[in-house]
Amino acid sequence: MTLFGNIVQVLEKEIAEAGPSKEKEMLRQKEYDEVKVELREHLEKVGDAEADVIFSIPDGVQLFTIDGEKTTTPTHPTSLQILRFTKNKSKSGEIDIPRADQPSALIQVIAFFS
């Protein structure tokens, strides 16, 4: 079966199931909170680095995730930007020393999962 076939199969299974149970919803919220903490940590590593927008879609982007046999509901349409950090320069103009754990690019999407 192709990847597309697998995705369709997972989506069909999710649609066929009844709404999420309270336990599943609590687990999903816990996972969401953990992702927020991890994202915040990564953003703090970036600091005030300058970035160039290398790709942008102003609206109409919907996100959903597929993890094994679990799929999230698509988000409301929003924007998407891909940013590439300017090497060794912060907004204050100071020269930054690059760190191995500092990303060179970032995908920014303002998403509200339902």
Sequence-distant (6+) residues with CB within 8 A of 79 are: 56, 57, 58, 59, 61, 109, 110
| CA dihedral of residues 9, 7, 22, 40 (deg, nearest 10) | 170
- Tens digits of per-residue pLDDT, 44-92? 766 667 788 899 998 888 888 888 888 988 888 888 888 888 765 555 5
Q: How far is CA 48 from CA 44, 71, 93, 94, 108, in A?
A: 9, 34, 10, 10, 15
22: enclosing H helix or E strand: helix 22-46
What tokens appear for 10 in the block? 């997972």
pLDDT for residue 55: 92
Binned at pLDDT 50, 70 and 90, residue 10 comes out as confident
Report the C-alpha gap between 85 and 96 in whole angstroms.
12
- Tens digits of per-residue pLDDT, 81-109? 888 887 655 555 555 555 566 678 888 87
Cβ atoms of 49 and 90 closer than 8 Å: yes
pLDDT for residue 105: 81
- Tens digits of per-residue pLDDT, 12-42? 776 666 555 777 778 878 887 787 777 677 6
Q: pTM surpassing 0.75?
A: no
